[in-house]
Chain A
Amino acid sequence: MNTKIAIIGGGPAGLAAAVSAYDAGVKDVVILERDDKLGGILNQCIHNGFGLHTFKEELTGPEYAERFIEKVRERNIECLLKTIVVDLSESQGGGVTVTAMSAEKGMFEIQAEAVVLAMGCRERPRGALNTPGYRPAGIYSAGTAQRYVNIEGKMPGHEVVILGSGDIGLIMARRMTLEGAHVKAVAELMPYSGGLKRNIVQCLDDFDIPLKLSTTVTDIKGKDRVESVVLSKVDEKNNPIPGTEEEIPCDTLLLSCGLLPENELSSMLGVDLSPVTGGARVDESLETSIPGVFACGNVLHVHDLVDYVSGEATEAGKHAAEYVLGKTPAGEEASIALETGNGVRYTVPSFVRPGRLENFLTVRFRVGNVYKNPEICVYLGDKCLQRRKKQICAPGEMEQVMIKKSDIEAMAPGETIRIAIETEQEAAQ
């Protein structure tokens, strides 16, 4: 089978990319989704707070997904459900060969002129944290527990400790409490939370759940089922401090210790990945190192809000359509690198071809620490172009700056764009 654009994944990123590619003039789009329904992880996110930016109203996860699924249906975009993509490779004559498997079609290939990678992310498991202790039942990543509670309607446990203050962990602290469980503590390795401020307030503070910062799990006890966990304070190098151990009896340990973009297929295809985000290195058009292959959503970098995923995917879909239609602006001039200055962990994109910009370049990034009253600074070469004051910047919240195309075009050859966080103290020095 042949298609113009194959979209790998039918979660929020894939859905928005499909709609936007279609609206940009490419009707021959196919979404490949391994689950039996569209919507991805939104289907189990039954709490509200989705869509404030996109729809100016508060929706639940499934409602938010439904809005996009509806758009996909209206456009009759082909969706292959219960279909797992097992391989991506560059085709001989250009484009990408998508190898997939489903009960209905067996093993089959799709020749696609362009591909949008929208596979999402997965949770970092206990094993990757290398937390010592026993390996009993009762240890779940927060998202797995969320599925048990919200989809299966069962309780993964009753006396709960949560390690990690990522958003899913925070949401699950509230969910488990509302379902009758007792959430005893949320422990966070870092001296700050990894989640959104609003989730700390609404999911922990409102329920008197203590958030223990600079704290980690150093032992898990219980041979069959979790019986207790030991929490320890950590020093500035994140090493447990002996003598600070606190054993908390519980039957469940939930982990919310970070999300990892799921780029196994991207690696098969040979896409360049960033060691910082675990996602593809992309340009201003969200195109990866392989022409015609675009990436968006959590497979590119982990987002805090689904609204931003949809926004990014809309751009990726549009650019994929332009690629297929041959409308990609001629912009083969040398690309300009984006550099991470003080406090900035990464930027998306990693580089920009000014000629391909419409009016603005949108740069999304995350900071590596909590900064109070910082300024977000954009340097073009040595020149500081923008200086925006903020009350706070935190690793849990994605930041964004916009740079005018004309400013980028005015840059001298060899100059780079640098995003940095500056605080008053640093400025004083």
Chain B
Amino acid sequence: MKREVVIIGAGVVGSSIARELSRYNVDVCVLEKASDVCEGTSKANSGIVHAGFDAEPGTLKARFNVAGSRKMEALSRELDFSYKRNGSLVLCFSKDGYPQLEELKKRGESNGVEGVTILTGDEVRKMEPAISDEVVAALYAPTGAIVCPFGLTIAMAENAAVNGTEFRFNEPVTGIKAGGDGFVVTTDKGTYECKAVINAAGVYADAIHNMVCADKIHITARKGEYCLYDKKVGGTVSSTIFQLPGTYGKGVLVTPTVHGNLLLGPTATDTPDKEEVNTTKVGLDTLQATAAKSIKTVPYRSVITSFAGLRAHEDGGDFIVGESSVKGFYDAAGIESPGLSAAPAIGEFLAGEVAGYLGAIEKSDFKATRKGIPNVALASKEERDRLIKENPLYANVICRCELVTEGEIVDAIKRPVGATTLDGVKRRTRAGMGRCQAGFCSPKTLEILARELGTDITKITKHGEGSEFLSEHKGL
């Protein structure tokens, strides 16, 4: 198959690049090894739009973080995903931390982060009554925000698809050959001849890069475990609460999510296995104990789930973004935190670079906006009435915890880059994300998936082949 550009990876970075590149008259294909967008690092992170005071000035992390953070709010309106500017606090527990706090403030200022101030312990507790009495001071960044990482990724992918980008799932890239005036990308299903390749392969970006480039890079998967708590304790804090950073990134944070849950995490442990997304007793105990430093009471009994994600930490410690040593091969590698915040800016930058390289021109018919799936749970009575009149399926509640209706689930399946798995439906609609964790809704969601996809219920998976739920009786 011939394509002008192949993007490898449909996480938040790949989807952002795809969306930005779909502004241009370029034939783009996104290859994803998983069954859906947002299946790797993008689905298991803190959901934070970092203000940008943490990254060392002059690094790509600083540059794309601040730029991405500035773009995010407008993007959330354009593409209709959940975003909330809730501000962030970095807590300092002893006077010894003051110099570090000052340093962070300076970093923030030189990175161009607006409104960074230092508050006293009492000022912090006035703002956030749940904060520990041990806190003596904190850095406050009003531009810190929270975002739905699934919503962001899916919105960008959908918008890219509407503007002509092709997404191919369950296609791991097995080889790339550079030659002539382009590349041949091989997957387990076929080959793609293209002029440019963009590597957005997350924790595997080193493997993809090293297929082509002589200068090797190396990515370590750094596991972060999280606990998510019931919405009834979602109001514990309103800002995102960090602790002064240690050796491994930004430490354990305490934050509300855009959907109103409380989230604690992540831990940081390096793992040689790039699929090791299990949680551990030590990890979960550690993160709750560490979070207990920040807030007066950790609502242990209200946990509704725990999960782990892997950050792609490159040995150099910074993002690798731009054209590699091989012409036409572009990297977005080592995108660990603040990668989610940076994604919109990385996408815009790389799309510009690649378009320039190909001499592509902007489309006249680019559709810049996208409307998300109606959200019955958040809709007013009048809106619900209107939705139900339009389609009675919007009255049929499937997930009672999050009040997700059959109409929304059918939408999730039928939209561009639609859901084909239970996890896909969950990330698009929140069905199964509530306190019963899909106990009641999963049988119904499986039925709807099977019906809408025209397949048997035993073929429906959690997240792709091998994760089937149901089978026939043996011997039948």
Give complex CA distance A411, B270 in Å. Answer: 67
> Which residues of chain B are within 8 angstroms of A155 by Cβ–Cβ distance?
470-474
Nearest-Cβ distance from residue A401 to partner chain B, whole angstroms: 30
Asked if A240 is at the interface of the complex by the 8 Å CB criterion, the answer is: yes
A127→B443 contact, CB < 8 A:
no
Interface residues as binary, B380-402 with A (CB distance below 8 Å gives 1, 0 otherwise): 01001100110011011100100
Nearest-Cβ distance from residue A319 to partner chain B, whole angstroms: 27
A86→B306 contact, CB < 8 A:
no
Task: From known contacts A103-B395, A127-B305, A127-B306, infer whether A156 and B436 are also in contact, taking CB-CB under 8 Å.
Answer: no
> Which residues of chain A are within 8 angstroms of B228 by Cβ–Cβ distance?
127
B304→A125 contact, CB < 8 A:
yes
Asked if A389 is at the interface of the complex by the 8 Å CB criterion, the answer is: no
Nearest-Cβ distance from residue A142 to partner chain B, whole angstroms: 10
**Which of B306, B436, B468 is A225 in contact with, Cβ under 8 Å?**
B468
B473→A179 contact, CB < 8 A:
yes
Kindly report which residue of chain B lies nearest to residue A127, judged by CB atoms.
Answer: B305
Task: From known contacts A103-B393, A130-B306, A137-B468, infer whether A158 and B400 are also in contact, taking CB-CB under 8 Å.
Answer: no
Asked if B227 is at the interface of the complex by the 8 Å CB criterion, the answer is: yes
Nearest-Cβ distance from residue B397 to partner chain A, whole angstroms: 5
B470→A122 contact, CB < 8 A:
no
Task: From known contacts A84-B397, A225-B466, infer whether A133 and B471 are also in contact, taking CB-CB under 8 Å.
Answer: no
Q: Would you list 29 pairs from A and B whose C-beta atoms are within 8 A, ordered by A residue?
A: A84-B397, A86-B403, A101-B388, A101-B395, A106-B388, A122-B439, A122-B440, A125-B304, A125-B435, A125-B439, A126-B305, A127-B228, A127-B303, A128-B435, A130-B303, A136-B467, A137-B461, A144-B439, A144-B442, A147-B443, A148-B470, A152-B447, A154-B458, A154-B471, A155-B473, A155-B474, A158-B471, A223-B277, A224-B465
Asked if A233 is at the interface of the complex by the 8 Å CB criterion, the answer is: no
Q: Which of B9-17, B47-55, B104-112, B280-288 contacts A (4 or more CB under 8 A)?
A: B280-288
Asked if B457 is at the interface of the complex by the 8 Å CB criterion, the answer is: yes
Give complex CA distance A123, B447 in Å. Answer: 21
Residues facing A in B443-476 (CB within 8 A) are 443, 447, 457-458, 461-475
Task: From known contacts A147-B443, A158-B471, infer whether A128 and B304 are also in contact, taking CB-CB under 8 Å.
Answer: yes
Give complex CA distance A34, B284 in Å. Answer: 36
Give complex CA distance A383, B415 in Å. Answer: 70
B residues neighboring A (CB under 8 Å): 227-228, 275, 277-281, 283-284, 303-307, 381, 384-385, 388-389, 392-393, 395-397, 400, 403, 435-440, 442-443, 447, 457-458, 461-475
Kindly report which residue of chain A lies nearest to residue B394, judged by CB atoms.
Answer: A103
Kindly report which residue of chain B lies nearest to residue A158, judged by CB atoms.
Answer: B474
Kindly report which residue of chain A lies nearest to residue B432, judged by CB atoms.
Answer: A125
> Which residues of chain A are within 8 angstroms of B436 by Cβ–Cβ distance?
122-123, 125
Kindly report which residue of chain A lies nearest to residue B283, judged by CB atoms.
Answer: A132
A126→B437 contact, CB < 8 A:
yes
A residues neighboring B (CB under 8 Å): 34, 82, 84, 86, 99, 101-104, 106-107, 122-123, 125-128, 130, 132-138, 141, 143-144, 147-148, 151-152, 154-158, 179-180, 218-221, 223-225, 240
Give complex CA distance A107, B437 in Å. Answer: 26
> Which residues of chain A are within 8 angstroms of B461 by Cβ–Cβ distance?
137
B384→A107 contact, CB < 8 A:
yes
B281→A224 contact, CB < 8 A:
no
B306→A132 contact, CB < 8 A:
yes
A180→B474 contact, CB < 8 A:
yes
> Which residues of chain B are within 8 angstroms of A218 by Cβ–Cβ distance?
281
Q: Which of A99, A132, A138, A156 has the most CB of B within 10 A?
A: A132
> Which residues of chain B are within 8 angstroms of A221 by Cβ–Cβ distance?
278
B280→A107 contact, CB < 8 A:
no
B439→A133 contact, CB < 8 A:
no
A103→B467 contact, CB < 8 A:
no
> Which residues of chain B are within 8 angstroms of A225 by Cβ–Cβ distance?
466-468
A154→B395 contact, CB < 8 A:
no
Q: Which of A104, A156, A223 has the most CB of B within 10 A?
A: A223
Nearest-Cβ distance from residue A149 to partner chain B, whole angstroms: 9
B443→A224 contact, CB < 8 A:
no
